[in-house]
Structure 1
Amino acid sequence: MSDIQPLAHRRARGRGLGRLAALLTALAVMLSLSGTAAFGAADVHGTALHPVVHVPAKAIDAVAQMQPSWNLGNSLDAPSETAWGNPLTTKATFDTIAAAGFRSVRIPVTWSNHQSATAPYTIDATFVARVKQIVDWAQADGLYVVLNIHHDSIEWVSNITKDHDNVMARFDSTWSQISEAFKSEPRTLLFESVNEPRFNDVTDAQKTAYLNELNVSFHTVVRASGGENATRMLVLPTLGGDGAQPLLDDLSTTINSLHDSQLVATVHFYSYYPFSANLAGGTLYGDIAQKYLDDSFADMHDTFVAKGIPVYLGEYGLLTSPNYFHPESVERGEQLKYYEQLGYAARKYGVTTALWDAFNYLNRATLQWRDPDIFAMIKSSWTTRSGTASFDKVFVSKSAPITAESLTLNLNGTHFLGVWQGSTRLLPGRDYTVSGTTLTFTASALTRLVGDRAYGTDATVQARFSTGVPWNIDIVTNDNPTVAAATGTTDGLTIPTEYRGNNLATMHATYADGTNAGPLDWTPYQTFNETFSPDYPNSTIVLTPLFLASLRDGDTATLVFHFYSGQTATYKVTKNGSTVTGTVG
């Protein structure tokens, strides 16, 4: 509460500066942005640092030109550039990104790792030079660049609620130094005020006021620094990067108050939470997750784009996938559906999207895409739609006679062309039938495809459509999975499991009285990989210390493991002190 008086004083003082900055900005825009601006730069030897890129005068047109975008995550935002597993960034990194079709990059930077924590908050000149080198490499490939202050937001900016004046002094100093270092860069460089700003232990109204103060001060400092910064596009975030409508409205109020045509709104999007993290039963990319995405993009459009203010979706992806160090939390085909719809929504609603890539998509050591099929879907979504289906697997029981099996096609505005196995087209009528959007594989075709009926994927076929990428369908032989008794400690319980061609989807955990067992007490479906995790190579399911620590001592929890085939396995777990016992349900 002690910070409210300085905050009110600063906001009152900022209004006069804001009016002056707005007048200067409007004059600069009229003088230098009357048409399409062309910018180029060269070093002292005359070597081109940036190709001549024609930047549209209107910010909304320029940001549209930035689609699609990519994040250089976990590099300059890490404690040191290689601290979080990525190699040093090179010019070849951006050569690869540009060649893949990206038109812009976001370069997250945590300045506090290289900055004095006390006044005058000097940033190390060697680090500034390194950031500038990387920014210039990206621009040399014709890419727009968004430069921000990143984990600073949680490392010290969030302390504004308890140390207002010092935080504001550091924030202004940081942006003053960045502005000075990059003031000659062309307008293909954008500044983003702060990443996902969050403030704890204050009211919502206070959070809104603090973020408004930061955004307004950022605008004032950058515009006052002169050079190209007088007309540089500036990116302002919502609280936490959240796209909830009240937060969009708060940001809209701030942007409108600044009277600056070169402002850009930014939010982040990681899908419907239960799906993105695979908890609370969100195993499939169903109607709720699809509606959540469309509604979110529609809100961005209606609040900003429809009013001439561009939206830069500074990060998108899934909270848990793809993760190449753990089993996939989100089923792969369901991921593909999400990326397909997101690309379509971006085109439909005029939003520029930046893929968050900490290491998950581009292997920066080899400069190869880790999963070419996922990247193919993402890339295809930039320009067209792809057909999908209700699932990417057809399960065929090993212990029962083979019968016809069906999937539902999601045409997404395309036309179904047929089914192929490699270069061989399956025959309509004999191998499959289509009735409306129901694709049915005949028993004879499945018999041929499963061959000797070994557990797991025996064949893969492709449903092809008039546009976009094909939809791969695995033909999988399976049977009911089984689990076996085990003992362990609260450090972990390893359950012997015969998967028999199945993939684990989720775990339902309850006590006999009907209450939920596990750290998520509001849902029986616990979080994939955080509380349980499949170990397919070693034929086990692992219950984690987080889950076991949450169990009530002496009270038996019933676990139901759900698999994507629709089959289940029931298990009972009892914790007594540090000992954990598991038995077959």
Structure 2
Amino acid sequence: MSSKNRRRTPWRAGMIAGAVTALMMAGTMVTGSAQAAAGCRVAYEVSSQWPGGFTANVNVTNLGDPINGWKLAWTFPSGQRVTQAWNATVTASGSQVTATNMSYNAAIGTNAAVSFGFNGSWTGSNTAPTSFALNDVACTGSVGPSPTPSLSPTASPTTSPSVTPTATPPAGDRMEMVAAMQPGWNLGNTLDAIPDETAWGNPLTTREMLRHIRSQGYRSIRLPITWSSHHGPAPDYTIDPTWLNRVREIVDWSLAEDLYVMINLHHDSWQWINSYPTDRANVMGRYKALWSQLATAFRDHSAKLVFESINEPQFAGTSGDAESDQVLHELNLEFVRLVRQSGGNNATRLLVLPTLHTSGEQARMDALLATFDELDDPNLVATIHFYGWWPFSVNIAGGTRYDSNVEQDIIGSFDRAYHTFVSRGIPVIIGEWALLSYDYTRPGIIQRGELLKFFEAVGHHARIRQLTTMLWDAGSFLHRPELRWRDQGIYELMKASLTTRSATASTDQIYVPRTGGITSRSLTLNLNGTSFQSLWHGGTRLTNGTDYTVSGSTLTLTRTAVTRLVGNRATGVNATIEARFSSGVPWQISIISYDPPTQAAANGTTSGLTIPTQFRGDQLATMEAEYADGSPAGPANWTTYKEFWSSFRPDYGANTIFLTPEFFAEVNDGAVTLTFHFWSGTQITYRLTKSGSAITGSPA
């Protein structure tokens, strides 16, 4: 990413999925001979539990001779049921359960382990099973002769993402290797920070952090690295050995934690590489010097280390994108040539080449495909970035909801990647993805329920097109000092999206006026191929027909249930209910009491205006600004809807809305009408008058 333009600020946010442990290399074959030693040990752990549901992880250690193809059987002692699974195919007959290997984790060597996980349901109690059998051999923790061999079921090819095996897929199988990198995580705003690792607010990277990332289901880590402040002058451009050793340390830690690792030249793209069209000799010399040193330093590292040529390449001084495509082509050719010539494992190492701007536009992908055709190298990978439909990603032009524009942008981008590259056997890594304005330091820009729909859809559409995704996380997802997710619900949904779909709904908020009569309330379920199962409030299952009804995809809370849930009708969230479905994570719905917000008069300057605002349980969705003739006022004068945070910022604790200097910098003298839109549906009109640097305002 680049800090030079707003789309690529260093403060952007970036999410994760799939909590499972180490897996083994692919292969489905017959189990070992009847006289082979057999034995196993199983560790069954419930990692999280909620009323009626739970997540379990199962680790199977093979104590006998190597096996290729496995099935693990057990019986639930309390009648539990598996609702979704990952890294195994799970079938059940009553309480008897069988988990069978996937195509990529069939082989288990002696004393090696394989893991899988699942979500389940329970009633009454959730007693853990204690007896397991691997390929019909009881897992007692000791070794004995195996039974007569049988064929393990052959797992059919799947479009679900693979995860990193403990053994690297065979060299030359780039599709399998990139599938094994799913999902990935970016150590954002860290080694790429300028001038050093902690300059942009993140702590020093520790091995414990990397171990935590692996434990949470990540199989690869992208290390964005900016080198421009860490090398000497021309012509050698010698990399600072202290910096190189620090990079090597983090790479080695990551590999030791069984992560694939991708390193690159990051902000160098806009700091000096962008001048290549007008300064070819100097830029190429610097580029070659850096990659030559890196290729030499990491020549003998594991094949799980991957090189990415340039982050978000962009160029000044060209006639347009077509010429910039050609410029990037030249750099990519040189990158591949010099890495391959450096020998060692670099002769076959995966090398990742970006499109111009890492764009998902068809013309940019076509240009990169021409580079692949010319190089004819079986170990090259394409990469793009994805931050969604821009109006939604930053909340501008009324882009407050996950709508058909957002959905079609995902589908179009991922379809282009699939048809251009994947269908030709060229894997694609979405090296960064998130929403541009999702940032824990700027809450409320994107409403949480709408954000969840986006994350769910990205996971699904990437999975069915065999695209490997690497979440951009600059600190907004993982709270690194405490190694915890800032929003556990987002993490759980993203984890589930690796293997299945989750249902969502038209909203996750039901606003109920604090005074007056209470009526039934309805919302639309987006089932996404699931079926509705039940509705819960805490540990209480609500009653169909009395508390709610479901007709097709419409869920309706009865007046009686809404009355009970709002309680004393204090402003704010009074209750949270949970809709559960046949698969995926539940959908939570907040029941909120509110009074219409109010505002008061204010005076200020073009340096900013603070409008007193009593939110009274409501929250701000967006703001419009118009001149007297109805034309848009302020920045982005092609729309009346201004950009959240850039032009206006609510502060719910202080009961204010702040209009920014950036907003007033593009407002003409005279009258301006503001319309504040709230999530309850309430709208407030506010009048401003600008005279030079003086601003006055009052409710309409």
Same fold? TM cut 0.5: yes
| Gap runs ≥5 in structure 2 | 1-103, 108-163
Deviations 1:363-415 (A, max 9, x none): 11111111111111111111111111000001111232100110000001111
Q: Residue 538 of structure 1 corresponds to which residue in structure 2?
A: 654
**5 Å matches for 1:200-239?**
200-203=316-319, 204-239=321-356
Q: Distance in 2 between matches of 1:265 and 1:332?
A: 31
- Contact kept? 1:327, 1:529, Cα under 8 Å: no
1:442 paired to 2:442: no
Q: CA deviation at 1:324?
A: 1.9
CA drift at 1:174: 0.7
How far apart, in 1, do the equivalents of 2:200 and 2:337 lie?
A: 34
2:371 counterpart (254, 264, 269): 254
Match of 2:400 in 1: 283
Matched, 1:456 2:545: no
State the secondary structure of the residue aligned to 2:297. helix
Segment drifting more, 200-209 vs 422-431:
200-209
Q: Distance in 2 between matches of 1:506 and 1:199?
A: 35
- For 2:96, the equivalent position in structure 1 comes to none
1:63 to 178, 181, 189: 178
Q: 2:427 aligns with which of 306, 310, 314?
A: 310
The 2-side partners of 1:98 and 1:538 are apart by 40
How far is 1:478 from its partner?
1.6
Corresponding residue to 1:472 among 585, 588, 610: 588
| Residue matched to 2:361 | 244
Is residue 93 of structure 1 aligned with residue 239 of structure 2? no
113-122 vs 504-513, which deviates more? 113-122
Find the residue that maps to 1:112 and give its secondary structure: coil
Letter of the 1:263 partner, please give it.
L
Q: Which amino acid is the alignment partner of residue 69 of structure 1?
A: G
* Equivalent residue for 1:510, pick from 610, 626, 645: 626
Deviations 1:536-568 (A, max 9, x none): 011111100100121102x11111011111110
Structure 1 ranges of 4+ moved more than 2 A: 50-57
CA contact (8 A) 1:463 1:472 kept: yes
The 2-side partners of 1:481 and 1:273 are apart by: 29
The letter of the residue matching 2:480 is R
Which residue of 1 is the match for residue 480 of structure 2?
364
The correspondence for 2:188, drawn from 73, 81, 85, is 73
Structure 1 residue 52 displacement after superposition: 6.1
Task: Tell me if 1:136 matches 2:252.
Answer: yes
Give the corresponding residue for 1:4. none
Hey, what does 2:525 align to over in structure 1? Answer: 409
Cα pair 2:165 2:180 within 8 Å, conserved = no
Residue of structure 1 in register with 2:688 after alignment: 573
Q: Which moved more, 1:131-140 or 1:54-63?
A: 54-63
> By how many angstroms is 1:211 displaced?
0.6
Residue-by-residue CA offset, 1:461-482 (whole Å, 9 max, x unaligned): 0011111111110001123222
- Report deviation, 1:300: 0.5
| SS of corresponding position for 1:142 | coil
Task: Measure, in 2, the Cα distance between the counterparts of 1:416 and 1:467.
Answer: 9
Q: Which secondary structure state, in structure 2, belongs to the residue aligned with residue 550 of structure 1?
A: coil
Paired residues for 1:53-202 under 5 Å: 53-57=167-171, 58-78=173-193, 79-202=195-318
Letter in 1 for 2:690: K
Bigger Cα displacement from structure 2, 161-170 vs 352-361: 161-170
Instruction: Provide the rounded CA distance (Å) in 1 between the counterparts of 2:168 and 2:374.
Output: 29
Structure 1 residues 98 and 384: alpha-carbon distance in aligned structure 2, compared to 1, 3 A threshold: same
1:201 deviation in Å?
3.7
2:697 paired residue number: 582
CA displacement 1:423-472 (0-9 Å, x = unmatched): 10111111111111000111111000001111111100001111111111
Q: Quick one: distance in 1 between partners of 2:252 and 2:611?
A: 53
Q: Report the equivalent of 2:495.
A: 379
- Mapping of 1:350-361 within 5 angstroms? 350-361=466-477
Q: For residues 191 and 274 of structure 2, what CA distance do their matches in structure 1 show?
A: 20
- Equivalent residue number for residue 46 of structure 1: none
More helix by share: 1
Comparing 198-207 with 72-81, which one deviates more in the overlay? 198-207
CA distance in 1, matches of 2:275, 2:231: 17
How far off is 1:524 after superposition?
A: 0.8
Question: How far apart are 1:303 and its partner, in Å?
Answer: 0.5
Match of 1:170, as an amino acid? R
Q: Cα RMSD between the aligned structures?
A: 1.4
1:264 match: 381
**TM value normalised by structure 2:** 0.75
- State the 1:301 CA deviation: 0.4
- The 3-state SS of whatever aligns with 1:187 is coil
Moved more, 326-335 or 66-75: 326-335
- Contact kept, 8 Å, 1:51 with 1:141, in 2: the verdict is no
Q: Equivalent residue for 2:92?
A: none
Moved more, 101-110 or 119-128: 119-128
Native 8 Å contact 1:53 1:188 kept in 2: no
CA–CA distance in structure 1, aligned partners of residues 395 and 661 of structure 2: 19
1:117 Cα deviation after fit: 4.1
Q: Kindly indicate whether the alpha-carbon contact (under 8 Å) linking 2:512 and 2:592 is maintained by their aligned counterparts in 1.
A: yes
Distance 1:171 1:573 in 2: 53
- Does structure 1 residue 556 correspond to structure 2 residue 671? yes
**8 Å CA contact retained: 2:570, 2:593:** yes
SS of the residue 1:223 aligns to: helix
Aligned counterpart for 1:487 among listed residues 576, 599, 603: 603
User: Which shifted more, 141-150 or 392-401?
Assistant: 392-401
Shift of 1:104: 0.5
Kindly provide the CA deviation profile for residues 484-538 of structure 1, in whole angstroms up to 9, marking residues without a partner as x: 1110111110111111221101111110112110111111111000100111011
Distance in 1 between the 2:602 and 2:534 partners?
A: 48
What SS does the corresponding residue of 1:302 show, helix, strand or coil? helix
After alignment, is 558-567 or 302-311 more displaced?
A: 558-567
Q: Determine if contact 1:233/1:263 at 8 Å carries over to the other structure.
A: yes
Q: CA deviation at 1:233?
A: 0.5
Task: Go from structure 1 to structure 2 and tell me whether the alpha carbon gap of 1:494 and 1:52 turns closer, same or farther (over 3 Å shift).
Answer: closer
Percent identity, please. 52
Give the Cα separation in 1 of the matches to 2:232 and 2:620.
49
**Mapping of 1:509-528 within 5 angstroms?**
509-528=625-644
How many residues were matched structurally?
536
Paired with 1:65 and 1:346, the residues of 2 have a C-alpha distance of 14
Distance, in Å, in 2 between the alignment partners of 1:205 and 1:465 is 48
